[in-house]
C-alpha cells in the first residue's frame, strides 16, 4: 500500500485535522532534544480518546506500520525520535486531569498532562507532586512514565515509579489493560504496571495514569556550598544527612557555574571561587532546623571541606540559587554537548568520577568537560562540549570512542549507563554494560509478549 493510502486510512481513525504530514510538523514531532538522528516520520497523528489509540494500534498491526510515542519531546536518549518512516502518536490532545481523590491523594491524568500542570493542580489542592526537573514546563506525564523520569528531588521522593498508583495502557496488540487499579497493597501476581514504567513505549502506550500526591513541603530553604575539591562533596552530604532530612542534594563544577555566570541573568552565590559546588535543600520548619543547618555548615568549614556558602533567606533567593543548577543544561546546549547520564552507588561516586575524569583528560585534553548532577542519589551528568573547530559528526565520532571507556568504568562499578534519561537509540548499543545477556533475552521476550509484531517504538532499547 502506498504512503498516501496509508495516511488516508489513518485519517479515518481520528477527528478531522488530527493527522499532519507537512514538513514543519514532521520535523518538530519526529525528534526530541537529542541531535544525533534526523527525523523522518511518515505522519503525526493526534488521538483524543483511548478508543482512538486502540484503533491506531490495531491499524498499525494490520499494515505493519511502526509507531513512536510523542510527549513533550524533551528526552535525551532519542526514545521519541522517528527516523525511519514511523507514524508518531502525539498525546497533546489527551491533556486533562480527569479526577482527584482527596482521601487517597491521587489525580487521574491523561498522558499529555504537562508535568508543571500536575504540579500546579496539586498545589491548588494543598498538595505536592514532587517529581521535578528543568523540563517540567514542557515534559508530559506519559513521557515521564515511559522513561521513569527522576530529576532534582529523588534523594527524598524517588523516581516517577514511586508516584504511579495505577495505569491504563494500550498494548502492542491493541488491548486495553488496567494495571494495579490504584491500590496501595496488591499481592496478586506480577505487577505489570512496573513493566510499562521505563519501557519507553516499546510495550504499548500509557493512555491514563493515576498519580500519587504528597503533602506540600514547608519553608523550603536552599544552601549553595563551595567545596575545596570533589572528594569533599561526599563528606558534606553525609554531614548534612546526619542532621537534616534533605529534599535535594545537587552538585556542579566551576565550569558549569562559569557558563551560567556568562549568561549574566543570575547573581553569583558568593565571591570565593571553588572547583565544585553543592546545592542542598531542606524544610526549615523551625528555627532549630535552620540553626542545625548553619551549625553543620560551620562544621564542614572547620573540616576544610567547604570554603564558602550561602543560605536562602527568601523565596526569590531560593529560586536564584536553584537557577545556578537548573539553567546548566539550557546554557551549555549552545556548545552541542555530548551527554552521558550515568549512575553508581553513592559510596562509589568519588572514585568513579576521578576514573572518568582521568581517562577523558588523557585522551582528549582539548575537550571541555562540564560535570553536574543529582549526586545525592549517585547520578552524574557528564557533558563533553564540542570544540568550535570540529564538525558535529567528527565530534560525535570521537565521543563514541570516549563512550566505550566511560561505560567500561560504569561496568567496573556495577553502575548504570542511563540513570534517568532512558536507553532509546543513543544507549542501546551499550546496554550490555549494565544488563547481562540473560537479562536482555528476558526483556526481549517480554516485549514479544506485549508487541508480537514489533510495531511499538522499534529500534529503541534494543537494536532492530
**pLDDT of the residue at 393:** 87
Helix 315-326 and helix 254-263, axial crossing angle in degrees, nearest 10: 110
Mean pLDDT of 42-66: 98
The order of strands in the sheet holding 164-171 is 97-101, 106-109, 204-212, 164-171, 176-179
CB 419 within 8 A of CB 343: yes
Q: How far is CA 450 from CA 206, 304, 443, 453, in A?
A: 13, 55, 11, 9
CA nearest neighbour of 230 among 276, 274, 279: 276
What confidence category does residue 366 fall into, taking pLDDT thresholds of 50, 70 and 90?
confident
Cell matching residue 418:
542511563
The answer on pLDDT for 91 being more than 80 is: yes
The answer on pLDDT for 35 being more than 80 is: no
Mean pLDDT of 434-462: 97
CA nearest neighbour of 73 among 41, 104, 101, 103: 41
**pLDDT of the residue at 75:** 87
DSSP reduced 3-state for 33: coil
**pLDDT of the residue at 402:** 84
The answer on pLDDT for 422 being more than 90 is: yes
DSSP H helical segments within 303-391, as ranges? 315-326, 328-332, 349-363
Mean pLDDT of 211-233: 97
What confidence category does residue 401 fall into, taking pLDDT thresholds of 50, 70 and 90?
confident
CB 284 within 8 A of CB 221: yes
CA nearest neighbour of 375 among 339, 405, 347, 399: 347
The structure's pTM equals: 0.94
Q: Which domains does the chain have, with CATH numbers?
A: 3-90 (3.30.43.10), 97-215 (3.30.465.10), 220-329 (3.30.70.2190), 336-437 (3.30.70.2740)
CB 411 within 8 A of CB 66: no
Mean of all residue pLDDT scores within the chain: 95
The answer on pLDDT for 76 being more than 90 is: no
pLDDT above 70 covers what percent of the chain?
100
**Lowest model confidence (mean pLDDT) among 160-169, 200-209, 281-290, 355-364:** 355-364
Amino acid at each position: 500500500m502506498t504512503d498516501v493510502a496509508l495516511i488516508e486510512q489513518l485519517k479515518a481513525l481520528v477527528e478531522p485535522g488530527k493527522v499532519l504530514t507537512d514538513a514543519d510538523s514532521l520535523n518538530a514531532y519526529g525528534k526530541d532534544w537529542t541531535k544525533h538522528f534526523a527525523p523522518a516520520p511518515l505522519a503525526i497523528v493526534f488521538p483524543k480518546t483511548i478508543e482512538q489509540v486502540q484503533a491506531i494500534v490495531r491499524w498499525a498491526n494490520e499494515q505493519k506500520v511502526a509507531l513512536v510515542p510523542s510527549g513533550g519531546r524533551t528526552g535525551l536518549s532519542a526514545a521519541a525520535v522517528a527516523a525511519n518512516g514511523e507514524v508518531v502518536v502525539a498525546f497533546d490532545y489527551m491533556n486533562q486531569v480527569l479526577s482527584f481523590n482527596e482521601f487517597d491523594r491521587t489525580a487521574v491524568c491523561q498522558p499529555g498532562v504537562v508535568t508543571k500542570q500536575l504540579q500546579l493542580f496539586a498545589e491548588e489542592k494543598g498538595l505536592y507532586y514532587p517529581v521535578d526537573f528543568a523540563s517540567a514546563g514542557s515534559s508530559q506525564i506519559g513521557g515521564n512514565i515511559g522513561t521513569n523520569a527522576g530529576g532534582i528531588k529523588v534523594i527524598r521522593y524517588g523516581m516517577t515509579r514511586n508516584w504511579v498508583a495505577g495505569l491504563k495502557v494500550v498494548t502492542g496488540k491493541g488491548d486495553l489493560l488496567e494495571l494495579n487499579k490504584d491500590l496501595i497493597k496488591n499481592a496478586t501476581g506480577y505487577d505489570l504496571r512496573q513493566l510499562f514504567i521505563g519501557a519507553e513505549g516499546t510495550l504499548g502506550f500509557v493512555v491514563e495514569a493515576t498519580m500519587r500526591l504528597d503533602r506540600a513541603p514547608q519553608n523550603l530553604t536552599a544552601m549553595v556550598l563551595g567545596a575545596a575539591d570533589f572528594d569533599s562533596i561526599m563528606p558534606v552530604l553525609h554531614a548534612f544527612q546526619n542532621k537534616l532530612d534533605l529534599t535535594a542534594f545537587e552538585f556542579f563544577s566551576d565550569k558549569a557555574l562559569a557558563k551560567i555566570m556568562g549568561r549574566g541573568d543570575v547573581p553569583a552565590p558568593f565571591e570565593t571561587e571553588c572547583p565544585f559546588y553543592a546545592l542542598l535543600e531542606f524544610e526549615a520548619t523551625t528555627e532549630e532546623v535552620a540553626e542545625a543547618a548553619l551549625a553543620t555548615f560551620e562544621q564542614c568549614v572547620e573540616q576544610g571541606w567547604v570554603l564558602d556558602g550561602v543560605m536562602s533567606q527568601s523565596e526569590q533567593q531560593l529560586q536564584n540559587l536553584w537557577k545556578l543548577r537548573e539553567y546548566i543544561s539550557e546554557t551549555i546546549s549552545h556548545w552541542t554537548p555530548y551527554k552521558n547520564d550515568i549512575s553508581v552507588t553513592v559510596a562509589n561516586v568519588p572514585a568513579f568520577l576521578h576514573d572518568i575524569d582521568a581517562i577523558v583528560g588523557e585522551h582528549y585534553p582539548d575537550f571541555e568537560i562540564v560535570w553536574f548532577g543529582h549526586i545525592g542519589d549517585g547520578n552524574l551528568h557528564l557533558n563533553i562540549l564540542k570544540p568550535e573547530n570540529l564538525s558535529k559528526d567528527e565530534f560525535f565520532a570521537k565521543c563514541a570512542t570516549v563512550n566505550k571507556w566511560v561505560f567500561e568504568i560504569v561496568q567496573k562499578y556495577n553502575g548504570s549507563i542511563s540513570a534517568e534519561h532512558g536507553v532509546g537509540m543513543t544507549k542501546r548499543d551499550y546496554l550490555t554494560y549494565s544488563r547481562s545477556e540473560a537479562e536482555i533475552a528476558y526483556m526481549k521476550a517480554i516485549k514479544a509478549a506485549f508487541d508480537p509484531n514489533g510495531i511499538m517504538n522499534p529500534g529503541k532499547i534494543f537494536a532492530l
